[in-house]
Structure 1
Amino acid sequence: MVVTNTLKHTDMEDLLPVFNEAFSDYDIPISMTAEAFASHLESLSYSKDDSVGLFDKRRLVGFLLIGRRGSVAYDAGTGIIPSYRGRGLSHTLIDAAAAHLAARGCTTFVLEVLDTNTKAKNLYQSHGFAIRRNLLCFSAKQDELVGQSDLLLEPYEDGYRVPSCYESSYQNNDQSVVEGLYTCSDIVEKGTRKGVAWYHHTRGSIAQINIEPQYRDENFMKEAIISCARACTTQTVRILNVDEADTVVINALQAAGFTKFTTQSEMVLILEEQKQ
């Protein structure tokens, strides 16, 4: 009999092989090393006490991993190993997680789902999740970048703030990039600071590029993107979860040689307070 319980007593080494098996046949397969998995969860403020697993005679066969910040819970990964699918266990897992989170004081449950995964999207909607916005994901190979950049990425000067025009997704927000050990640099042109960028050299990931409003156009954004991409040591560079409404970034990415490889829906469930 499959039952739900928290992951409070489940170690990373026991969780990782189940995670990799559960995501091995997804539209975008995922396989992580122990180091990458730990870093990924740490950057999302993973809470094993808030996370829920599916267990068959103490064997972990599914999970809903939770990142938590204050009263906001984030789905850091939901999966069931292939041999246990088709039994309605996804419904059981979501219901158990929502009730558990509400009882622990969470008021908002946020997740992203690939738009190609219509089954999962419909599943979440059937449990009360609503689509808040659409997010686009892009990638480019270093040798296929188009254009040059004269912008400099200089050490970040503490106290310099440039507001984002569009709210960052959970995994790209300020706390995530700090906990994920992203580099923060000032974007400088001819001695003038004009923005701030967060990027990860060894992961080839750009999380945020925030430009002063008076300089924020497609040409400047394109140069900023190229500078960040060139600062990465990977052959491929990705920028995930760009708000569909942010045409400046989208057009600049395409002009710089980036290609959209998938889209996601950001979904939200408002949790009702429950007693333990």
Structure 2
Amino acid sequence: MEIRTLKNTAPSQLVACFNEAFSDYFVPVSATEEAMQNRWRASRVDFNLSVGAFENDKLVAFIFTGVGELNGHKTAYNAGTGVIPAFRGRKLVSELYHFAIPLFKNAGITQCTLEVITQNEKAIKAYRNVGFEIGRTLHCYQGEIQPAISKIPFEIKRSKEIDFEELKPLQPFVFAWDFMNDGIKAANNYECWQLSDNNQLKAYLLLNPATGYIAQLGFDKTSPENYGLKLLQEVARMQRSFKINNVDAHSPETIKALSDAGLVHFISQYEMRKMLT
């Protein structure tokens, strides 16, 4: 068994190992190379700091590492960890992190973070053994939204240009890694929908129109008008099926807007963190 970085590993080998590792996951996964390339871009994956375990030169376990800034710390984000079934039970996740952490420190990284499904007790135990601690809980939603019955009396703007400074006052919480502003910029496949009332921005969402994936939803929570719900219903004029992941459990207004729109909470994740200083 050899542990080394993934900088010289072919993408096809990475994707093959990923699919084998997640073949029996809580949420079935079967990714194409194109989809994984998009995910790695959004997660800002650095393969010089991503690591894998190899048996006879076959990749059998991996950690993809995204690198960026989070809460003032240079951060190593776990953009995916997997071990193929035949090699589980060997504490390879711990071995991979023991190899990777000195690399992280040499790169000036001061914290590690990840998300893990709350039901995945084995993974949570493995991360705790490495020194990760559970932080906030994040909810995931999916389903169909019924469109507004009639045209809503607000101005709706749809654009591929995203002005994050304009959106900042409406951002409801610190978004999870892939959906932070830097992740949206790196992915470069989202469009911005905005709802304005009397020329004032009251709600926005960032949508991948090809997949129905909502990366961010923000709206004015001080008004009795449920602007978030109304924007969701307006976007549903164009398509019906949507998914939004990693909504902070302590954002009741966002959760209510999603539930009122008809989206269903289907799974939750813990955000975990390990400090390196």
Do both share a fold (TM > 0.5)? Answer: yes
Q: 2:263 aligns with which of 233, 258, 264?
A: 258
1:115-264 matches, within 5 Å, as 115-142=118-145, 145=146, 148=149, 150=152, 151=154, 152-155=156-159, 158=163, 160-163=166-169, 164-181=171-188, 182-189=190-197, 191-215=199-223, 219-231=226-238, 233=239, 236-264=241-269
SS at match of 1:66: strand
Tell me how many residue pairs correspond in the alignment: 266
Deviation at 1:218, TM superposition (A): 7.1
Given that residues 205 and 218 in structure 2 are in contact (C-alpha distance below 8 angstroms), is that contact kept between their aligned partners in structure 1?
yes
Deviation at 1:196, TM superposition (A): 2.9
Given that residues 154 and 187 in structure 1 are in contact (C-alpha distance below 8 angstroms), is that contact kept between their aligned partners in structure 2?
no
SS at match of 1:160: helix
Determine what percentage of the aligned residue pairs are the same residue: 31
Note if 1:78 corresponds to 2:81.
yes
| Cα distance in 1 for residues equivalent to 2:113 and 2:180 | 13
Given that residues 4 and 53 in structure 1 are in contact (C-alpha distance below 8 angstroms), is that contact kept between their aligned partners in structure 2?
yes
Change (3 A) 1:174 1:166: same
**Unpaired segments of 5 or more residues in structure 2?**
none
| Cα distance in 2 for residues equivalent to 1:251 and 1:88 | 40
TM-score by length of 2: 0.88
Deviation at 1:162, TM superposition (A): 3.1
Deviation at 1:153, TM superposition (A): 3.3
Given that residues 146 and 255 in structure 1 are in contact (C-alpha distance below 8 angstroms), is that contact kept between their aligned partners in structure 2?
no
Deviations 1:51-88 (A, max 9, x none): 00001122111100011115211111000111111222
TM-score by length of 1: 0.89
Deviation at 1:147, TM superposition (A): 5.2
| Cα distance in 2 for residues equivalent to 1:218 and 1:61 | 52
**Unpaired segments of 5 or more residues in structure 1?**
none
| Cα distance in 1 for residues equivalent to 2:119 and 2:78 | 18
Change (3 A) 1:157 1:251: closer
How big is the alpha-carbon RMSD for the aligned residues of Structure 1 and Structure 2? 2.1
Deviation at 1:214, TM superposition (A): 3.8
Structure 1's consecutive aligned runs of 4 or more residues displaced over 6 angstroms after TM superposition are none
| Cα distance in 2 for residues equivalent to 1:115 and 1:203 | 25
**Comparing 185-194 with 200-209, which one deviates more in the overlay?**
185-194
| Cα distance in 2 for residues equivalent to 1:253 and 1:195 | 13
